[in-house]
Amino acid sequence: MTETTPSSSKGRAPTPALEPVAPAVVKSTAWMAGLRLALRLIGVINTLVLARLLVPEDFGLVAVGVAVMHLLQNVSDIGVAQAVVRFRHADRRHLDTLFTLSLIRGGVVAGLLLVVASFAGNSFGDDRVQGIFVALAGLAFIQALHNPRFYEFERDQDFSKEFLVSIIEKGVAVIVSIAVAVHTRSYWAIVLGLGAGFVAKSLLMYGLKPYRPRVSLARLGEMWGFTGWVTGVSVVVALNNKLDPLLLGRFLGLAPAGLYQVGGQLSAMPSMEVAAPVARALYPSLSRLDTDPIRMREAYLSGAMVLAGIALPAGVGAAFAASDGVRLFLGPQWLEIIPLIQVLAPVYGLMAVFFATQSFALALGRPRTVFVRDCIALTIGKPILIWAALTHGLMGAAYAAAFHGLLYTGLQAWLYYRLTARSPVEPLWRARRSFLSVIVMSLSLFGWVTVVLPTFGPAPLVSLFSIILVGGGAYALSHGILWYAEGRPMGVERLVLNALPIKGVA
C-alpha cells in the first residue's frame, strides 16, 4: 500500500514495507466494511419502512432523547475498547476496573436522564419527550453492562465476532421497531427497537466471551493516564457531534430537527461507511507498531490513500444522486433534505480522508493532542451553527455544518503535523490521483444532470442508475489514466486490480 514507483526504488532503500501489517489490516477492514455495509443495508430498510409509517416529527422526538443519551454517554466515555487494545497484556483486574467504571458511568447517565426527563417536556414544548427520556435511562444502564473482555477479539484483530453480534443486534432492533410501527404508528417503535437490540447485544457479548464481572478499581491508577484523556476527548466529541439535534429542536422545532438528523445521516453514509471500518481496522495494527514510527506513519498514509480513493467519489456522487434517491426511496415528505445532502455529502467525503488520524494518535498514546483538536472545533463551530440556524433556518444549519466539516479537516491535517512533524498536506498528496479524478467525475456529472437528463426526463430510477454509471465510469477511467501516467505506483489502484480475477493487469 506504500506509494512507491518502480523507478523510485532504484539506488536507494524502498519505503518500509508493510507486509506484516497489511494482510491483517485488509482482513480486518473486510470484516468491518462488510459489517458496516450489512448494518447500513438493514438500517436503510428500517429507515425506509419507518419513514413510510411515521412522520418527521416522530423522528425528531426520538432524535432529541437519543441525542441527550449519546451526549451523556460520550461525555462520560472511558474508552473501554481502546483501553483493552492499548493495554495488550491486560489481566483480570484491568477488566474488572473497566467494568466497574462502565457501571458507574451507566448509573450516572441513567440518573441524569431521569432528572432531565422531569423538565424535558416543557423545554421542548411536547409532553411526549418526558416518557422517551425515562425509557432511554433504562437503555443507558443496559449498555453499561457490556462485557469488557469481548474487546479482546478486537485487540487480536478478530472482527468476525463483532460482525455476528452487531448483525443480530441490528436485526432484532429492526424486527421489533417495524413490528411496533406497523401496529401502533407511534414513535415508540424506534425506542423499543433500540432497547431490544441493546439487550440482544449484551447477552451475546457474554455468550461469546465468558466473563463474570466483579466490582473493583484495582487498576484505576495505572489506566487513568490513558482513559482520563480519552474521557476528555469523548466529552468534546460529544459536544461537537450530538448537540446539533438538541439546538435545532430547541430553536427551529422538532420537525426541522428530524429533517436535519435524517439528512445528516444520509449525507454521511456513503463516505463514512468506508472510513469507519478502515480506521477501526488500522488501530490495532498501529498500536503494535508504536515502536517503529516510520512504518506506523506509512501504515496511516496508506489508509488515508485508500479512504480517499473510495470515500471521496462516494460523497460527491451522493450529492448528484440526492434528488432522485430521496424522491425514489423516501417520498415527498422528505424533499427538504435534498439540498442538505447536496451540501453535506461532499464535505463528509473530504473528512473521510483524515478519518484514521485519531486512531493514529491513540496508537501513539497521544490522546491529549486529540483533545486540543476537538476543543478548537467546538469553540469555533457551535456558535456559528447557532447563529446560522437562528438567522437562516434549516439550510443555514446545513451550511454551518459544512463549514464545521471543513474546519475539522484542517484540524486533522494539523493533528497529523503534530504527530509526525511532517507536512500537514502529506496525506492529501498521497491521495492526489483521487482528488483529480473526483474533479473529472464532478464535471462529467454536472454536464450529465444539467444538459443530458433534462432532455430525456427519465424516471427517477433510470436517472439514478445513469448517474452512478456516468460518475463511476468517469472516476475509474481518470484514475486509471493518472495511475499509468505515474508509472503504475503501488496504491489503491493496484489493490483494486489485485482483487479482480484478472491476472497480469496490475
Q: pLDDT tens digits, residue range 15-66?
A: 343 444 455 555 666 666 667 667 767 877 887 788 888 877 778 778 878 8
What is the sign, positive or negative, of the torsion defined by CA atoms of 163, 315, 302, 371? negative
Domain boundaries, the chain: 15-231, 252-506
Burial track 265-301 (b if 16+ CB lie within 10 A, e otherwise): bbbbbbbbbbbbbbbbbbbbbbbbbeeeeebbbbbbb
User: Which of 229, 218, 225, 255 minimizes the C-alpha distance to 59?
Assistant: 255
Distance CA 15, CA 294 (A): 9
Per-residue pLDDT, 23: 54
pLDDT of residue 362: 80
438-464 mean pLDDT: 92
The phi-psi region of residue 213 (left if phi > 0; otherwise alpha if psi is between -120 and 50; otherwise beta) is beta
Q: How many helices (H) and strands (E) does the chain have?
A: 19, 0
Predicted local confidence at residue 214, as pLDDT: 87
Whether the predicted model's global pTM rises above the 0.85 cut:
no
Calculate the alpha carbon distances from 479 to 7, 211, 308, 476, 493 in Å: 20, 49, 12, 5, 8
CA atoms within 13 A on the CB side of 133: 24
Tell me what percent of the residues of the chain surpass a pLDDT of 90. 30
Residue 72's pLDDT band (boundaries 50, 70, 90)? Answer: confident
Q: Which helix (H) or strand (E) holds 13?
A: none
Amino acid, single-letter form, for residue 434:
S
- Highest mean pLDDT out of 174-188, 249-263, 287-301: 174-188
Count the Cβ atoms, other than its own, within 10 Å of residue 501. 4
Q: Name the one residue in this structure whose C-alpha cell is 483521487.
A: 434
pLDDT reported for residue 6: 37
For residue 473, what pLDDT band results from cuts at 50, 70 and 90?
very high
pLDDT score of 57: 78
Task: Select, from the ranges 225-239, 280-294, 335-349, the one with the highest average predicted confidence (pLDDT).
Answer: 335-349
Residues 29 and 281: beta-carbon distance below 8 Å: yes
Total residue length of the chain:
506
User: What pLDDT is stored for residue 176 in this prediction?
Assistant: 93
- pLDDT (tens digit per residue) in 312-362: 999 999 999 999 999 988 878 889 999 999 999 999 999 999 988 988 888
The residue whose grid cell reads 506509512 is: 298
